[in-house]
Structures are given as C-alpha cells and as structure tokens.
Amino acid sequence: MNKIKENISLKPYNTFGVEAKTRYFVEIHSTEELKQQLEYFRKEHPSLPLLLLGGGSNILLTKDFEGLTLKLNLKGLSEARTTDNTVLITAQAGENWHEFVLHCIEKNYGGLENLALIPGNVGTSPMQNIGAYGVEIKDVMHSCKALNLETLEIETFTNAQCQFGYRDSFFKQKGKGKYIITEVTFCLTTKNHKIQTEYGAIRHELEQMKITSPSIQDIAKAVIKIRESKLPNPLLIGNAGSFFKNPTVSQAFFKNLQHLHPNIPHYPTGEQIKIPAGWLIEQCGWKGRQIGNVAAHPLQALVLTNATGKASGQEVYDYSSEIIQSVHEKFGIELEREVNIL
C-alpha cells in the first residue's frame, strides 16, 4: 500500500495547470489498495473530505483542498465476445480515454470512433456521459463497476441504472460523492458498424478527405482532425475542453429567439432545441478575448484557457461568470458549467 503524502501540489494533475495544494495525496493502482487506503483514512481522519482525480481534465481547482486526494491509476483491458456482431470490452478507470478509443478502432470495434480525442480517463466517462458528434456514452456503455464509499463494496450498475442525461448521470446526482467508478464495460460492434455522420463538420471533413463510404477508422480520423484544428492541446495551453454545456430550450422560446437572431444554429433534441454554447459566447464578443491570465480560445469560444500559464482557478471561474452574465443579458439563456468546480 502506497504511503499517503502530505501538502502536495495538484498542478501536474489538472489539465488547466492551475496551482492548488491538497493536504493529503495518494496514488491508487488496484481496487484492493483503494479499499485499504479508504479504510485507513476513514479511521485516522474521519471528518476530512475526499477528492478523486482521474485525468484531471474536467475539474477546476479554485482553492487548496483540505482533505485526501486519490489519484486513480487503475489499469487494464479485457474483452468477451457476446454475439457474432458484438463484443464486451472492459477498461479500468485509469485508462486514458483516447488511447482506449484508438485500441478499439485498431481492433475494428465500432461505437467509440466519434468520441476520439476527448481528454480524460475512462472512469469519468459515465459520470459526465461524455459525448461528441452525435454519440454519447449512454449509446455504447453496457455497465460499470463502482466502489460504494459507505460499505466499501463493489457494485455493478447497468446502463439504465446510470440514469444518463445530457452530460449528466446518477453519479453526478443522487450518487454524487457516494461512489468511485473502478471500471467500465462497453458493448461494441465487430462488423455491420453503425456509422454516425449526422454532424456537418464530420460530413465536410469526409468530403475534404474524398471519402463517400466511411469506415470507423475514417470517422475517427475526421473527428481527430476537426478537434485538433480548433481545440488547444492541454499539454501546450491549460484547458479542460468544453467549459460549458450546450443549453437546451423549449420550442416556443427558440422561435422567439430565432425571430431576433435568424442565423442561430440549432439541433432538435426531442421536444427541445439545443443551441451551441460556443456560438452564444462568440456572439457576445468573447472569442479570443483575454482578461488577465484567462482567455476564450480564438478558434473555439467554448474552451477557456490558462492563456499565460499563470492563471489561478479563481481567475478562470470569475471569467466564466462574466460569460454567463453576458450570454444571459443578450439571449436570456443561463449557461451551465460542464467542468466540476472545487
């Protein structure tokens, strides 16, 4: 069992690259070690809070953390063929998401190709119900296992039990702070893949590549090219990907909005209309705008960056608050942060 360290900087463990310290810190490499550390910590420090870190790509640290930070490094892949056209592939929570997607594509397992190059680790994918270009985790996840923090027992959650919503799940609602996801199992196709090209950006990129009947490999290449062209690499400039959720509004509200802004982009989602948050932010003049150490990326206003490398988490938070206020004043829409705030 690894020794718990004290007063450790979390700057290397969050993709925003902001400075914050944790009172206690330990890296975890197995579920047994996870249970042992939690038992020990609960006994020695029963009143202190817990912070879980995977890839650190969906968190904004606005202050020091006076508790125990667990860095989950659970690794490993396994698979089991279920039918002639499907395979169940399980990834431990600490596996890098993009590397896992590439592994599946290399084996010609279909379903994850639209989710290529999303930052973070596998363990957080069900929590956020991550999604991109018409595909979400709920479409491909079979089940996941999670440690119950009260009983220290591993429980299995089916897709339905995860209660997925847009960038939402049971683990962000009723189960928040009660479970640690340890592994995720996906049901992928081995042939007869369902190719998703409904988003214009993918269709345009495929046209540029002169591909008319795309494979899952082609879709992944197109998605990676799109994301690399407009999203900053966290290794080069601190960011957490999309900072805000794309808002959804009623059809009646949207009709009024469209009357005032005829060119507003939108996507029907059932009885509601989804509007790209990046477009709303750009219309308010934030794209590429820098205040102090923080900026909205010049190619994608939805991404907030630690522009100078010297930003504090509070600076990023305050910048995002100004965006929320200006979008609300101009469009009457309240943007919601997708990134978890500490």
C-alpha torsion 57→324→226→77, nearest 10: 30
113 is catalytic: no
Do residues 26 and 67 make contact, with C-beta atoms less than 8 angstroms apart?
no
**What separation in angstroms does the CA of 170 have from each of 6, 43, 55, 128, 166?**
32, 28, 20, 10, 12
Say whether 41 sits in a helix, a strand or coil. Answer: helix
- DSSP string for 184-225: EEEEEESSS------SHHHHHHHHHTT-SS--HHHHHHHHHH
Say whether 179 sits in a helix, a strand or coil. Answer: strand
Of 141, 316, 179, the C-alpha closest to 243 is 316
42 is catalytic: no
Do residues 28 and 4 make contact, with C-beta atoms less than 8 angstroms apart?
no
Catalytic hit among 167, 169, 205, 320: 167
Q: N- to C-terminal Cα distance for the chain?
A: 27
Q: What count of residues does the chain have? A: 342
CA–centroid distance for 200 within its chain = 22
143 is catalytic: no
Catalytic hit among 169, 242, 312, 320: 242
Tell me the C-alpha distance between 159 and 119, whole Å: 22
Tell me the C-alpha distance between 340 and 320, whole Å: 13
Catalytic machinery residues: 167, 242, 338
